Structures are given as C-alpha cells and as structure tokens.
Amino acid sequence: MKLKKQVTVCGAAIFCVAVFSLYLMLDRVQHDPTRHQSGGNFPRSQISVLQNRIEQLEQLLEENHEIISHIKDSVLELTAHAEGQPALPHHPPNGSWVLPPESRPSFLSVSPQDCQFALGGKGQSPDLQMLAVYSLLPFDNQDGGVWKQGFDITYEPNEWDTEPLQVFVVPHSHNDPGWIKTFDKYYYDQTQHILNSMVLKMQEDPRRRFIWSEISFFSKWWDNISAQKRAAVRRLVGNGQLEMVTGGWVMPDEANSHYFAMIDQLIEGHQWLEKNIGVTPRSGWAVDPFGYSSTMPYLLKRSNLTAMLIQRVHYAIKKHFAATQNLEFMWRQTWDPDTSTDIFCHMMPFYSYDVPHTCGPDPKICCQFDFKRLPGGRINCPWKVPPRAITDANVAERAQLLLDQYRKKSKLYRSKVLLVPLGDDFRYDKPQEWDAQFLNYQRIFDFLNSRPDLHVQAQFGTLSDYFDALYKKVGIVPGMRPPGFPVLTGDFFSYADREDHYWTGYYTSRPFYKSLDRVLEAHLRGAEILYSLALAHARRASADGRYPLSDYALLSNARRNLGLFQHHDAITGTAKEAVAVDYGVRLLHSLTNLKRVIGNAAHYLVLGDKDTYRHDPAAPFLGMDETRSSQDSLPERTVIKLDTSPRFLVVFNPLEQERLSVVPVLVDSPHVHVLSEEGQPLPSQLSATWSSATDVVPDVYQVSVLARLPALGLRVLQLHKSLDGHATPRSSTRLYLHGRNLPVHKPEAVPLHIFPAAADDFCLENQHLQACFLGRTGLLQSLRQAGEEQGHRVNSEFLVYGTRTSKDKSGAYLFLPDGEAKPYAPKDPPVVRVMEGPLFSEVASYYQHVQTMVRLYNVPGVEGLSLDVSCLVDIRDHINKELALRFSTDIESDDIFFTDLNGFQIQPRRYQQKLPLQANFYPMPAMAYIQDMQSRLTLLTAQALGVSSLHSGQLEVILDRRLMQDDNRGLGQGLKDNKRTCNRFRLLLERRSTANKSSGFFSKLVSMFKALSFPGTRTGSPEVQDERPISFPSLLSHITSVHLNAEALVMPVALEKPALPVLRSFVPLATTLPCDFHILNLRMLQAEDDSLPSAEAALILHRKGFDCSLEAKNLGFNCTTSQGKLALGGLFQGLELGSLQPTSLTLMYPLGTASNSTNIHLDPMEIATFRIRLG
C-alpha cells in the first residue's frame, strides 16, 4: 500500500510540474523583453516575432519534456518493484467480464522534436515525383513503329563530332536461383558450366568483361572448384574483367519481400564476397524484378554502392522518361530532408533485358547481333533475319548498322556514354557461345575504333566501367549528383510490360509460402538475438566450451534459405510447382532448426545455475511450441500433458519492448491454473479447441494466460493441475447453426449454447473498442472507440474476381479480371460461433471456402486496441477465381490510399480511373490504410498480399488465387497447387488528436504557430501533398505490426526431466529502449571457420518515422522517445560492450573511427549497423 501511495504522489507531481511548466513557458514567451523586435514593416516583424516565439516555445517544451522524463524515470523505478502481475479478472452478476485497471502505470512521452519529422516540409522538391508522373501520363499505348512502345528516334550525323560516343557492351548471364528448374538443377545443368567457361574464356583476352550478381550460385560453385581456379577468379576480379554486381544472395523481389530479409540476404552475399574474394560491390544490377521499390536504393546507398540499374518499369513511364531524357536520375527517399539518400540510377529504355531489346530501338536489327542465334543453333530470331558471322568482307556494313542503333539509343540519355547489356537468362553456358559473342563483337569494335570519322569508341565493359566513364565525362566523383540530371522520388509499382497486362497477380500468388516466409523470418531474427545473447553470457562465464557453437551452422543455413526465398521467382509465387515444393522444404527445414537454436539458447539463459547446463541434442530440455508435418501443412500446436507435478513453460518475447500478451497454451485437461515463476496466480481463460464448425477436439483445451513478457526476454510460467476449487475462468460459447441440420459434439468442461437459427446482430466490446457484427453472416459491421458517440461503419465482405474469356487470362504473374468483383455466394449459409471470456472474445464464421475469426482482446495495452482478424482460406475447388476481403467504411478517403513498401516505409497511392482495375493494385507486405481529417483505418498484415482501394472508404485485399492457365510469361503453368492458408491481420481504427487532447497538445501548438508563420506550407494535413507525398504510421501502428509479426514463442520444459533445475526468467535489457527504435537484428559474425561464430556481432538498429497526430492512449507499456539518442553501453544487463564500430549497412566499410563512446544517434527512418563485441 505504501508503494501505491508513492506512485500516486509521483503521478500527481508529474501533472503539477507539467501544468506549471507550461504556464511558465507561455508567461515567459509573452513577457520576455528580449523577444520584442523594433523597426521593419508590420507584417514582417510580426512573422519574425512569431518565429522567435516558436523557437523559444520549442526550446521550453523540450526542457519541460526533460523534466517530465526525469520524474517519470523515478516513478518507473518505484513501480518496477510494485506488483508486476496483472490483476485477475472478475465477472459481476448480469455483466460482462471486467479486468481491473493495471497496477503499473504506463507512459507515452514523445518529444515534440520527434513529431516534427513526420510533418515534412524540409528539403527541396524533386524534379520527378512518381505520383505526379502517373497523374500526368495519358497511358494511351500508341504504336511507336519499330520501337513499338516508344517513338521514332532521329539524329544528325555530326552530333558526335566534338564529343565521341563511348559505348560499353556489358556481357551478363541472368541466373534465376529457381524458376522452371530447382536451384540445384539449374546449377548442375547450366550455372556451373557458365562459371567454368567464364574462368577459361576471360583469360584468353584481357579486353573481355563479364558481370555476375547471384552469390547463392557463385558460392555453391566456389565450394566445388580448385584452389587454382579460385586464384584465377580473384585475378579476374582484381584486374576489373569480372565484376560482382549488387552482391546479394539473390536478386530479390521488391514487392513482397520484407526489409529484414532484403538486408539479411544482402549482408549474407557481401560477407561471403569479402571473406572469399576480398571485394566490395559498387553498382546495383536488377534486370528482372517485376517493379521496383524505393527501399532498395536506400539499402544500396547505405551499403556504400554508388549507382544502380533497373529494367522492368511500366512501358508508358519508360517512353515518357526516354522522351524527356530522364532515364538516368538521382533516386531520393521521399522523407529525406537533404540529399544523403541519393543514388544514381540508370533505367533501361526498352521492353526486355535480352539482346534484341538492348542494342537500340529496333529489335529486328539488334537480334542480328545476338551471335548465339547464328543459323544452325537451337534458337533463332523471331523477326526472320538471322545474325551473320562478322568477316572482313561484311564488317563495315554490319558495324554501321549496329552503330546506327547505338546512336539512336544514346539520344534517349543525357551523356555521350552508352550502356549496352549483352546477355539473357542462363547465357554463356557453352564455350561456343563465348567465342561467338566475344570474337564477333571484338571484330566490330576493332573496326569502329579504327575509323576516327565515325566518332565512336566501343569496348567490352563491366557495369561500373560504364558508370565510372559517365562520372568522368560529367566531371564528378562516384556517388555525387551529376550536374543537370533530375532527382526522382517514389517507386515503380505497378508494372505492365505491354497493353493492359499488369503484373499485380504475383502480389498474392501462393500466399501459403508468403506466410511461411514471414514465420521463418520472425524465427530467424529471434534465434539470432537469443543465440548472440546466450553465447555472450556463456563466454563471460567461460562456459562456451559446453555451449552448442554448432548451432551457428544452423543459423547460417537458415539465413541462406530465407535469402534464397527472396528471389524474384520464389516469394513471388511464380515458379513451377516442383520448384515451389523445393523452396517449401528448405523453409521448413530451417524453421525446425531455428526452433532448436532458440530452445538451446533459452535453456542456457533460464538456468538459475549455469554450471548445470548440459546440451543433449537427443533429448532437448525445451520442447517446441508447434510442429508442421510437411512443407505445405499448417502448424499443429503442441498439447502439454498435465500431471500431479507442475509443468514449466518458457515464453520468449522477440520484441525489444516489454509486452503484455495473451499467451495461448494447449493442455489435456480443463483442470488447470497458471502461476508465475514466483507462484502467483496469473489471469487466464479456458476454452475448447475446435476442429471444425461443430466439432471440438476431445480432451484438448486452450488455456490463455495474460503475462507480462520482458523485452527480448524469457518468462518462466508454471502450469498446475487443479483438483481443488481454483478453476480457471471458462469462456462461454454460442453456436448459431443458421437452419442447417448439423450434429454438434459438445465440449464437456466449457459451456456451449446451441441455437438452430441465425443470430441477431450483436457486439463485442472491451474498455477501448466496440465491434458489432451482422448476425446472419458473423461478419464485422462497425467499430466504435471508447468515448465516441457514434461508431464508424466498417463493413467486411468476401468477393470473387473471375478472369477474362478472351485469349489473355490471369496467371501467376498477371491479374486480368473479367470486371468488378462479385459477392462471394457459398451454397450454404455460415455457421457462426461466438465465444466470450475474460481475456478475449471472438466471432468465428464458417463458410465453404473461408473460415474467418475476429478476436477482441479484453486486456490493457496494445493487444486490446485493435481487432485480430484471421482468414483460413481453401479454394482448391475453384476454377479461375480469386477470393478478396473488402472493408467498406464511412471514412472519406476519396481516391487516396497508402501502402507500405517492404515493411520499411509508406507510399501514398492514388486510384487512377484512367487505368484498368488491375493497375490499381499494389503490394502490401505489412500494412495499408485509408484516412480522412478525423480517422485512419489501418489493415496490418502478417504476410504479403495485393491490396487496393477502388472506391472512397474502401480497402480490399486479395486472399488467394486459383488459375488454370499460364499467362505467357515463360512459366508454362497456371496456379493450381493451392494450400489451406491462414492469412492473419490486425484492424486498427485511430482518431486524429484534437488540440484539447493532452497527447497531441504540444505538437499541435507548434504546428499551429508554424502555419501562422509560413502560411504556404501544409503541416500535418492527412491528404497527399503533391510536392512531397509523405506519410507515416503512428507509434501504435508500428507496435501493433511487430506484435502481429513476432508472436511470443511458448516452449514447454520436457516432461521426462526427473529433478528439475531452478529456472529464472531472463531479462536481457537493463534499460527501456525508446519506442521508435527497433532492433532489426543482433547477428553473430562468422569466424575463419565459417561454421563457427567469431567474437563479433552486427547490431542493426532502425529508428522508425511516425505520425504524432493520431491519438496514442493506453499503450500498456512505457513509450518514450529520445530524439534519436541511445546509450548502448549499459543496454545489455550483465554484459559489457567491448567495442562499438559504426559501419556501412552490410559491414563492408567502417564509418569513422571506433571511439570509446557508446552513445549513438540515429535520424528518423535511418537504419544503422554497428560491429560490436559483447561479453
């Protein structure tokens, strides 16, 4: 009680100080005589006074913020020792379950400066803003002649007289790590021969050049070649003949991939290159991903690359950029206040990266210079004019014909340096092809270079040879902005390669594997962090001899399997069925191994006496939370068998913030109660587990426990079989059969009421939210937040898209619907099951092809502020159909909606009426939202899917697609291998703060003054600003997203252990991290023996950009921001930070010198990597 009084007193003190400080501030601002300006005309002095007042006010607000932070820290110290257990729920007569208020207060303390970033307004406007470009273009697809999607190009013969044309022909071979064949099959059939021939043929002539990008293939080949061949490769790289471009494990898809995995595969590739060849990539090469995200240029720039190339961009954008000579530009992030994210980007102008579409605008002519197609070979030119071998007799005529194409292509660019790629998929796999291409081209080059009157210099080059020559020509150092070149912001989705063939289907294709990808990613991050911490603690205790260092090889293998799946034919769902199975087997293999790594690390970390640690691979101390019987099956959760002695659980929270979570556990008895490690009872709820709409699983019950989990930590819980009256509160269930005559198997220990008819409309509510449902469908109808008079219409429905009847139909890549979606019409009405309990209530609707579950948590904090929505989809009996989930609301969003790019940033979108329906779909790896001046509705997702907003107030997502035919993009198959797939979401409704609400008061005040001082700027307006479209999620939205994507892992202590050692919860962080900081990874670096860890780790931090204008109350944890400052020295409890070296993103370059200071600073949105030693 004494402690509670102290807490109350301190809370009152904070309030008083805040009010008094604000009063003093305003008083000082008003009366400070130094503030008064004299002279000048009236309005100018008024603005000046206002500006000074704002600056003064901001400074004072900051001082006030610091005062409150100090008091808050004191309160935290007091409350940290207060009762840490959540209070138990109770059920008053004739009422719903009530959860007592939290015993520990929570804070939201956001520095006003940290709110400024999201308002934007700094920095220059770009020359090209992609949203504006889309609004400008007619998309009329006019016939352009020989360059069908472009226009006729003309030039004057003397244009190069003063400055000769410099041509770099860049030989390349695009190797897909899985597509028509599996990764291994491609390697054995083609890739190894390409690389073996490369070593041989490049040494024949020092003028030859070649580029390579996929390290997954290169490393496999490296493991199989002799030391002599390795030395030859290092020589070729060293003398500039062979260049490693991008250097990632794969050339990743940029639509569905999450930024964790994008960075991870880049680190994996770069670390391999540094260790084995001693090289750091300089230029990015992405010829085949189906559209481009602006996340990739940011990652490449932060990895110290200076230029990049892209190819698959909408043909209308290519034409427009070609006509305005904007195909080369500095690509900048929308949120960048200066130029620190700029990277030089080259866009290829024509249809494809193959030889017919790379030498110039006329494919009929260019094909004649693809010497693999010489008569007698297996492939020929579709334009019916074959190539001819170059001889002394024909070289003049052939060289002139090719030069004409080079000159025309060069007219589309601003410099007199020209890039001409020379390659295609799996090219150069036979020595004869090397000879045909290199010998014939060298004859052409020799002729061109011997004729000064032609004013051309032609040669083989690497990608960086081209960029270096360009930089030299315009007189700048690599990485700087060339004078006269435009700045571009935005992205290049969605992609169409011809007509109305939009590649928007692959945003959803094979959603089962898109989901498995994210499950593996969450496990990899959790395993990396826990392994790093366990190893550091073991080394500190000199116990690393007993710790399974061999787990590092499992981590390394999982990194590579996750990396492989980021390939642009893997996560996209666009590979052959057998190849998809191969990917699935790899993902599942790594998932199982990672569960083992997490279990081993958790075992060591929770032991009270570390000396008792023994690693026994045959009998792990901790069991797994769930198992998957095969690569395409959904997980089955482990059922814990209760006995007279208590069963112990270890729960891992992979988030860097403490979380109050409902942890579900399956047990074999309803007689169960849950205690903390200290033996205190924890709030819990017992419910039946259902195998279908009307069948319960016999003798299996779910006990859901409300537990406070330490950040990145492990919590020990006890399960007791209760034979006395201490029963866990039971949920009660109502089952509505909707007139269907179905047998129901009743659970024994949990109340169930059966209603033969459909339900009336009904609502579920907690202290924050009320969700109302339509009785006959069980689907959501409205949402109302606490304190609101009126709710929002949020009507959910399922819809079906068909495909066209004409020759072009939807397939794995393309979405070609037969018009607008039609309502989903199952043959039977749904069975609706409504369950209500103390910790959560849920509505389950069972339709023929989809089971949907909407759950509302009745708990304080993040979990209770949004709806948990899941859809179990099974459309294996559909033919040419796509199932969509649409939310229709009264939010006045007009034609604007927002989707994320790679879970890293938000891109505003505009529904374009001039484009077909399928063109308005975009990737949604993590979230999408719509908003107006009052509200924002966010759909957060645990797997990448396609999303759109086709009308004001709508948001719709494609859940799965089953298509019976190929869509003529080379795959040769439809999408017929659908699985039962669970799509998981959170639906978050947020209110915009009004000026009288405390959470937004300071930032509103500052914004208001700024609007007075600078009436031209639009601060904080929710709609897209055309000059600089920019938007950010709220802090609550960010936190909800990580809750959804990184679930707590529950590991039971194995039953067979006779004498159980003492277990202690593990709390790794000594201080609370600012809540805009995210530990993206803590990744042990490899030792000389690459199956073992070194003493160093990579700590990767991301500071998230967030929007303060949305209310943030009742977050349930202490959320503070620090203007990007973080003291890493004392962050990890019981460990010392031996060294701290800031590096480039992929650790290839040290940034500055390693200092003794462990204090760091990050700007909003930035990702930073540090090489550290923990011990």
Q: How far does CA 936 lie from the centroid of its chain? A: 21
Separation CA 169–CA 358 (nearest Å): 10
Strand stretches in 426-514, DSSP E: 456-460, 487-489
**HSE-up of residue 72 (Cα within 13 Å, Cβ side):** 20
What beta strand segments (E) does 890-993 contain?
896-901, 905-910, 922-924, 927-931, 935-941, 945-948, 954-962, 981-991
Q: Are strands 659-667 and 639-640 parallel, antiparallel or unpaired?
A: parallel
Say which residue the tokens 């959560």 belong to: 840
Tell me the CB-side half-sphere exposure of residue 388, using CA atoms within 13 A: 14
> Could you give the CA distance from residue 452 to residue 1008 in angstroms, rounded to a whole number?
66
Helix, strand, coil percent values for the chain (each to nearest 5) = 30, 25, 45
Indicate the helix (H) or strand (E) that contains 869: strand 867-873
User: Crossing angle for the helix pair 192-202 and 431-449, nearest 10 degrees?
Assistant: 40
Cβ-Cβ contacts under 8 Å for 76 (sequence gap 6 or more):
107, 1072, 1118
Q: What's phi and psi for 25, nearest 5 deg?
A: -55, -55
Which among 775, 894, 794 is positioned nearest to 834, based on CA atoms? 775
The 8-class DSSP code of residue 497 comes to S
Query: What's the maximum distance between 2 C-alpha atoms anywhere in the chain?
Result: 102
Q: How many CB atoms lie within 10 A of CB 1099?
A: 23
- Residues acting as catalytic residues: 288
CA–CA dist 22, 14 (Å, integer): 12
On the CB side of 67, CA atoms within 13 Å amount to 16
Residue 852 β-bridge partners: 845, 871
Find how far residue 1043's CA is from the centre of its chain.
14
Other beta carbons within 10 angstroms of residue 684's beta carbon come to 26
Q: How far apart are CA 197 and CA 1009, in angstroms?
A: 68
- The amino acid present at 1017, given as its one-letter code, is T
Q: Which helix (H) or strand (E) holds 128?
A: strand 128-129
Distance of CA 122 to the CA centre of its chain: 26
**Alpha-helical segments (H) within 293-411:** 295-302, 315-323, 363-366, 395-410
For the record, the structure tokens of 312 come out as 């698959």
Alpha-carbon gap, residue 1074 to 113, rounded angstroms: 14
Contacts of residue 1081, Cβ cutoff 8 Å, sequence gap at least 6:
260, 263, 264, 525, 528, 529, 1098, 1099, 1100
Contacts of 899 (CB under 8 A, 6+ apart): 906, 907, 909, 922, 923, 924, 927, 928, 947
Size of the chain in residues: 1175
DSSP state, residue 864: G
Strand ranges (E), 511-644: 626-627, 636-637, 639-640
Angstrom distance (rounded) from CA 1128 to CA 1137: 8
| 698: phi then psi, degrees, rounded to nearest 5 | -65, 140
